[in-house]
């Protein structure tokens, strides 16, 4: 299989700045109400991507968030459990151009109240540290051993050679935080880069484009170039959405896949996301989901029982013989996309 897959990219139908302005209004006013925690999640994700990609938005485009921004202090007082969402939204709004300048004081309040003390997860502590340091605020609860523990986690490559979506997403987000979303070199060692490679292999096998897009961004932020097969898979997915107006709510749509895949193609230097965003309530639907091979490969290996080997050269003919045509094509492309498939398979086979 060729490493380059031809794309039929649709023509651009909406300028990037216009698309960003419409997305801000859509997520701020049309999909959910502000009292819904999922409103916080969706808007934090959108604004973070717009901010870290340097997207220019008009002052008028931020107007739907003005009342929320003005009320951030009261919200933070009443909903301290959501401090990371609230800080993220407020910081991104200011950095995108909203006037006000209150976020340094709110970051100082969060540190003074020790809200990161409530975190049991190093990942959440890393996010809290990243948010606070955006306004030069240090938090004593973020201990000096945090980086060492984060790097130990992402450096254990075997973790990411087995299906574990939670661990894989934690891996990509740790890289985002260490790299300040691509603003500095995260200084990943070979083990951490191998972890990203393994996570990408599994994501491509599973045709989980959401995760594959995050892996591609994390590799790019680490100074690496994702394989063309992975890039093409993400580009094709980013161009294969229907964005339609709907009268009812947006629960269960594919908004996250849309945001992350378009983030990845922009970060990698492309702009294939020409789909116009309609005015009003809209939902995101990925039109086609590629047939994955992960389930079939796993089933074949489990069925092999005592004859299972961790030697890919020994097992490859058997595994391919157990797959249907679509799954076999995905496996073939995955093997072609990496120089580390044999090393990955030694762990994945669990022999």
**315 pLDDT tier (thresholds 50, 70, 90):** very high
**249 pLDDT tier (thresholds 50, 70, 90):** low
> Tell me, what's the pLDDT at 10?
41
Distance CA 131, CA 88 (A): 7
Angle in degrees, 0-180, between the axes of helices 190-206 and 209-221, rounded to the nearest 10: 160
Distance CA 346, CA 330 (A): 19
**245 pLDDT tier (thresholds 50, 70, 90):** confident
pLDDT in tens, 126-174: 999 999 999 999 877 667 799 999 999 999 999 999 999 999 999 999 9
Average pLDDT rounded to a whole number, residues 190-211: 98
**112 pLDDT tier (thresholds 50, 70, 90):** very high
Angle in degrees, 0-180, between the axes of helices 325-336 and 312-321, rounded to the nearest 10: 150
Which of these ranges, 95-99, 187-191, 222-226, 247-251, has the smallest mean pLDDT?
A: 247-251
> Tell me, what's the pLDDT at 17?
66
Distance CA 60, CA 220 (A): 32
**Is the pLDDT assigned to residue 251 strictly greater than 80?**
no
> Tell me, what's the pLDDT at 281?
85
Query: How confident is the prediction for the chain on average, in pLDDT?
Result: 91
pLDDT: which is higher, 345 or 291: 345
Average pLDDT rounded to a whole number, residues 73-82: 97
240 Cβ neighbours under 8 A, 6+ residues apart = 286, 287, 288
**Is the pLDDT assigned to residue 90 strictly greater than 50?**
yes
> What percentage of residues in the chain have a pLDDT greater than 90?
79
């Amino acid at each position: 299989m060729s490493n380059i897959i031809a794309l039929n990219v649709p023509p651009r139908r909406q300028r990037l700045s216009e698309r960003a302005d419409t997305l801000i209004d859509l997520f701020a006013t049309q999909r959910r109400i502000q009292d819904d925690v999922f409103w916080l999640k969706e808007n934090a994700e959108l604004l973070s991507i717009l901010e870290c990609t340097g997207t220019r938005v008009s002052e008028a485009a931020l107007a739907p968030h003005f009342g929320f921004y003005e009320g951030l202090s009261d919200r933070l007082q009443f909903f301290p459990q959501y401090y990371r969402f609230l800080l993220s939204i407020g910081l991104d709004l200011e950095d995108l151009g909203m006037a006000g300048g209150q976020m340094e004081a709110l970051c100082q309040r969060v540190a003074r109240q020790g809200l990161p003390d409530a975190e049991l997860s190093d990942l959440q502590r890393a996010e809290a540290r990243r948010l606070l340091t955006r306004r030069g605020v240090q938090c004593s609860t973020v201990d000096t051993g945090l980086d060492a523990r984060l790097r130990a986690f992402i450096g254990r490559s075997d973790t990411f050679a087995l299906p574990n979506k939670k661990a894989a997403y934690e891996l990509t987000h740790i890289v985002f935080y260490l790299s300040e979303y691509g603003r500095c070199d995260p200084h990943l060692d070979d083990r951490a880069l191998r972890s990203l490679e393994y996570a990408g292999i599994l994501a491509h096998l599973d045709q989980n484009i959401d995760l594959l897009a995050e892996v591609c961004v994390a590799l790019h932020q680490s100074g690496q170039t994702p394989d063309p097969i992975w890039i093409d898979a993400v580009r094709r997915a980013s161009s294969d959405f229907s964005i339609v107006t709907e009268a009812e709510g947006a629960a269960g749509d594919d908004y996250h896949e849309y945001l992350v895949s378009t983030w990845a193609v922009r970060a990698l230097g492309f702009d294939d996301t020409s789909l116009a965003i309609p005015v009003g309530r809209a939902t995101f639907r990925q039109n086609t989901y590629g047939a994955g091979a992960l389930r079939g490969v796993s089933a074949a290996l489990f069925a092999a029982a005592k004859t299972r080997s961790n030697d890919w050269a020994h097992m490859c003919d058997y595994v391919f013989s157990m797959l249907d045509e679509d799954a076999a094509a995905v496996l073939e492309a995955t093997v072609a996309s990496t120089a580390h498939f044999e090393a990955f398979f030694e762990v994945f086979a669990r022999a």
